[in-house]
Amino acid sequence: MPVPEDVHWRISYAEIAALAGVKRPVPTTWARRHADTFPEPVAREGGRPLFDGSAVVAWLLATGLGNADARKLRSELALHTLTGWRDRLPSHLLIGGLTALICLRQQQDAPLSGFDWLSLLRQAARLDADDTFLLAELRAVPDAEGVGTALSALADELVEAAYTPAEAFEWVLDARRRLGADQLVADEPAPVLTRALPGLCGISEMEDGAILATPYARSGDLLAAMHAQAASGAGHTYLAADPDVNLARLVRRRMLVREVYEFQLDVTVGSELALNDWGDPDVVLCALPYEPAEIRDAQSVLDRVQALTDLLDAGRTAVVLGPADALVRPLTPHSDADRLRRSFLTDGLLKAAISLPDGTFPYRPGYRTALWVLNRTPHKERHGLVLLADLSAQPLTEQTLDALVEDVQIFRSASWQEDRRHAPRHAVILPVKVLDERPGTAFTPQHRPHESRYTRAVMERPERISQLEIRLSELAEQVRRDIDGDAGLRAHAVLRPEDQPVRRTRIGRMLQDRRLRRLPGHRIRDEHLISDTDSGYAVLGPAEVLGVATVGRRRIDPLLFTAAYEHANLTRPGDVIVTTSPDFGVYVDEEGLCVVAYPARILRARPDAERPVRPRVLAALLRAAAAEHGRVNGAVRASRRLEDLLIPDLTSDEAERYDTLLSEIGRRDSILRAQVSALEDMDRLTAAGLADGTLTLLPAPRTV
């Protein structure tokens, strides 16, 4: 395929790792182990080797190494070729021309390769005689230097890699940001939210032949999501409208490649759907157009929502994504906007109001949004209830949105009333009059669901607090016993006589003298780690050694460890775990049977050495030595390697006395840490119970 010779796809080792779905050090290992086949660097930038991306992809496809799917690699290779034309074609011409070519191939069910550009234009003119979806886009592509022919070959390559034109089309739109077509994504919700919204409409349960509508369609993400979740062969009709003629043409192409043809599709240019030709929609899914806060008016937003509800016949549903300040936040009591918003409640239209997390529109980071689920319910079937949810403090993840969709689906399947068998997980169901009788009040839950009182975590709080009280009493008693039987902690430290200088040695020398043995850490894959469990081997990595993470929080199943890491070793009691990245840290494993994760490593004392090393003493002296040679600002690593650290080589008697002192310091430190941990747990549990209204504090009993 012709590509300009000055276009290069140069990627670093880190980018190769991301492309192949592996960790950063793996490509370096590949380059060393497969030196005869791995691509040679084509350039260097700041000392970093850069590789030809096309050669790397070809190598990955040929060897089968890495975790990336072959189709993803082929799409990356094809899409990069498209990226290489950005300097010669504006992004809107690139995407418009390529999506039009994919659509042309799908409509003709034949490859485009082998035809010159004029032949392709003639085929497009016959197919799109009225120029409604692809002819203008192809005519806008210049044929100079073979640009059009290159794009047609790229369209074929994408379709062959994706297996279907629809998937190839989506690959191109997924690359909108990479290609600089920000105007095509600025007003589209985040992909994770786009995939969740059709579930709120009940798309998968719609009867065959339903009419699904999307006003303000933009580039068609919501319409495509509805089609993707509809039952196979449902034969729905899809209606869309957008004021931008180019976006309307893009939506037509997007649905045509999905095999939604003219007798099931109508996309109009403007703000009005073509209802006169098709009838009232069964579902309306809409993201209201973004307006800056300076000019946004709650009344006008609610007027738009009311216009959408006018499209609904009895039993029909609308899901509207819009600004939170109009949909759920407090309004001026008795204002026109407040009265209009409460009318959606009293008319039985509003069924659910959900405050969403930040990030629903990635290009509008300060835009806070909310969702309304509306349904025109006949008067005799109304139950006067509304579901409220506040997800503003939740992460915008599939798990959070799936729980929300499930709550709304249960509410809908129960005919918009409570189902005692299925309590909402993230929402409360309230009588409409609670909100209607409070003009201007926010449409957000003011308390947690009543059912939350009966969760195991809540019911066990008083018992857990009592256990912590007992634990604190036991620790306090242990401290009192130590004080009564001991005059105090004494180090007996004095200045060393000048005629008795201390001998010093390096860690490297101790390794050479076989007083220490060095063992590497293991590269443990993230998917093999488990947390919040007491089973399995504890994993000790830099986070645990540095004290950032609790030891024992991350674990690995013993059977999996034995099968996946057959040459790996477990720690022994007394092993010293050291890490130098991201900072220097030392941890003494007193119990053993742990797994050390790279880049942490093990220094193991040899008990058969002529002068055995005491692990606690070694760890303390290493901390002190490393503190003198720490990493300065801007440096990549510390000024000295671990092997070069110089530490005192204490005599056996002195090391024994120091080890005894360190043991006592550690014992007392563990008691204090246990007290702090118990106090923090009591503080957290009590605050959580008082905050959600499930706990109260009784007056302390009087003592006589």
- For residue 501, whether the previous peptide bond is cis, meaning omega lies within 30 degrees of 0, is no
Residue 68 DSSP class: S
Alpha helix (H) residue ranges in 84-146 = 91-108, 117-127, 135-139
Over 50: is that where the pLDDT of 636 sits? no
Contact 518/601 with Cβ under 8 angstroms?
A: yes
Residues 558 and 599 in one domain: yes
Residues 306 and 227 in one domain: yes
pLDDT band for position 620 (cuts 50, 70, 90): very high
Query: Whole-model pTM?
Result: 0.71
Residue 418 sits in a domain of what CATH number? 3.40.50.150
Residue 698 DSSP class: P
When comparing pLDDT for 350 and 480, which is higher? 350
Over 50: is that where the pLDDT of 2 sits? no
Alpha-carbon gap, residue 426 to 414, rounded angstroms: 17
Q: What is each CA distance from 336 to 297, 306, 332, 339, in whole angstroms?
A: 11, 13, 9, 5
Contact 361/187 with Cβ under 8 angstroms?
A: yes
Closest by CA to 681, choosing from 452, 455, 453, 471, is 471
DSSP per-residue letters across 532-564 = S-SSSEEEE-HHHHTTSS-TTSEEE-HHHHHHH
Classified as helix, coil or strand, 388 is: strand
Can you read off the two tokens belonging to residue 672?
Answer: 């204090």
What residue type is assigned to position 280 of the chain? Answer: D
Residues 433 and 559 in one domain: no
Element (H, E) at 387: strand 385-390
321-338 mean pLDDT? 96
In a domain, 702, yes or no: no
Burial degree of 125 (CB within 10 A; 0-12, 13-18, 19+): middle
Alpha-carbon gap, residue 371 to 358, rounded angstroms: 13
Name residue, tokens 């049977």: 593
Alpha helix (H) residue ranges in 322-418 = 324-327, 336-346, 398-413
Alpha-carbon gap, residue 151 to 1, rounded angstroms: 9
Lowest mean pLDDT: which of 57-66, 68-77, 295-304, 538-547? Answer: 68-77
Alpha-carbon gap, residue 443 to 613, rounded angstroms: 67
Which pLDDT belongs to residue 59? Answer: 92
The Cβ of residue 426 has, within 10 Å, a number of other Cβ atoms equal to 18
For 563, list phi and psi in degrees, rounded to 5: -75, -40
The percent of the chain in helix, strand and coil, each rounded to the nearest 5, is 45, 15, 40
Contact 256/223 with Cβ under 8 angstroms?
A: no
Which pLDDT belongs to residue 1? Answer: 40
Over 60: is that where the pLDDT of 3 sits? no
The Cβ of residue 384 has, within 10 Å, a number of other Cβ atoms equal to 15
On average, the pLDDT of the chain sits at 87
Which pLDDT belongs to residue 341? Answer: 96
252-280 per-residue burial string, b: 16 or more CB within 10 A, e: under 16: bbbbbbbebeeebbbbbeeeebeeeeeeb
Residues 300 and 436 in one domain: yes
Q: What is the pLDDT of residues 670-685, one digit of tens each?
A: 888 889 988 998 999 8
Contact 51/39 with Cβ under 8 angstroms?
A: yes
Beta strand 283-287 with 211-214: parallel, antiparallel or unpaired?
Answer: parallel
Residues 42 and 175 in one domain: yes
Residue 529 sits in a domain of what CATH number? 3.90.220.20
3-state secondary structure labels for all residues of 582-602: CCCEEEEECCCCEEEECCCEE
Burial degree of 19 (CB within 10 A; 0-12, 13-18, 19+): buried
Which pLDDT belongs to residue 502? Answer: 84
Alpha-carbon gap, residue 267 to 248, rounded angstroms: 6
Alpha-carbon gap, residue 267 to 274, rounded angstroms: 8
In a domain, 202, yes or no: yes
Q: What is the extent of the structural domain holding 621?
A: 504-666
494-517 mean pLDDT? 89
Over 90: is that where the pLDDT of 197 sits? yes
Name residue, tokens 């840490």: 673
Contact 3/81 with Cβ under 8 angstroms?
A: yes
320-344 mean pLDDT? 96
50-60 mean pLDDT? 87
Residues 161 and 231 in one domain: no
Over 50: is that where the pLDDT of 616 sits? yes
List, in order, residues 6 or more apart from 352 with CB less than 8 Å away.
200, 371, 372, 373, 386, 387, 388, 389, 408, 411, 427
Alpha-carbon gap, residue 125 to 116, rounded angstroms: 15
Q: What is the pLDDT of residues 243-274, one digit of tens each?
A: 999 999 999 999 999 999 889 999 999 989 98
In a domain, 481, yes or no: no
Residues 141 and 212 in one domain: no
446-459 mean pLDDT? 61
Residues 164 and 262 in one domain: no
Which pLDDT belongs to residue 541? Answer: 93
What residue type is assigned to position 193 of the chain? Answer: L
Element (H, E) at 213: strand 211-214
92-104 mean pLDDT? 93
Which pLDDT belongs to residue 465? Answer: 86
Residues 376 and 516 in one domain: no
Which pLDDT belongs to residue 86? Answer: 66
Which pLDDT belongs to residue 583? Answer: 86
Q: What is the pLDDT of residues 548-586, one digit of tens each?
A: 888 888 999 998 888 888 788 899 999 999 998 888 899
Residues 127 and 18 in one domain: yes
In a domain, 113, yes or no: yes
Alpha-carbon gap, residue 310 to 215, rounded angstroms: 13
In a domain, 117, yes or no: yes
Instruction: HSE, CB side, 13 Å, CA atoms: give it for residue 472.
Output: 15
When comparing pLDDT for 636 and 546, which is higher? 546
Residues 220 and 127 in one domain: no
Instruction: HSE, CB side, 13 Å, CA atoms: give it for residue 200.
Output: 26
In a domain, 447, yes or no: no
Classified as helix, coil or strand, 367 is: coil
Which pLDDT belongs to residue 7? Answer: 43
Which pLDDT belongs to residue 674? Answer: 87
In a domain, 166, yes or no: yes
Contact 104/59 with Cβ under 8 angstroms?
A: no
Residues 563 and 647 in one domain: yes
- Partnered with residue 320 across adjacent β-strands are 286, 372
Which pLDDT belongs to residue 518? Answer: 92
Alpha-carbon gap, residue 75 to 445, rounded angstroms: 45
DSSP per-residue letters across 280-299 = S-SEEEEEPPP--TTT--HH
Q: What is the pLDDT of residues 76-86, one digit of tens each?
A: 776 666 666 66
Lowest mean pLDDT: which of 25-34, 71-80, 612-621, 660-669? Answer: 71-80
Contact 188/218 with Cβ under 8 angstroms?
A: yes
Closest by CA to 503, choosing from 621, 640, 638, is 621
Which pLDDT belongs to residue 79? Answer: 67
Which pLDDT belongs to residue 614? Answer: 93
Which pLDDT belongs to residue 456? Answer: 64
Residue 240 DSSP class: E
Lowest mean pLDDT: which of 140-154, 405-419, 626-640? Answer: 626-640
Counted domains in the chain = 3
In a domain, 671, yes or no: no
Classified as helix, coil or strand, 693 is: coil
When comparing pLDDT for 11 and 309, which is higher? 309
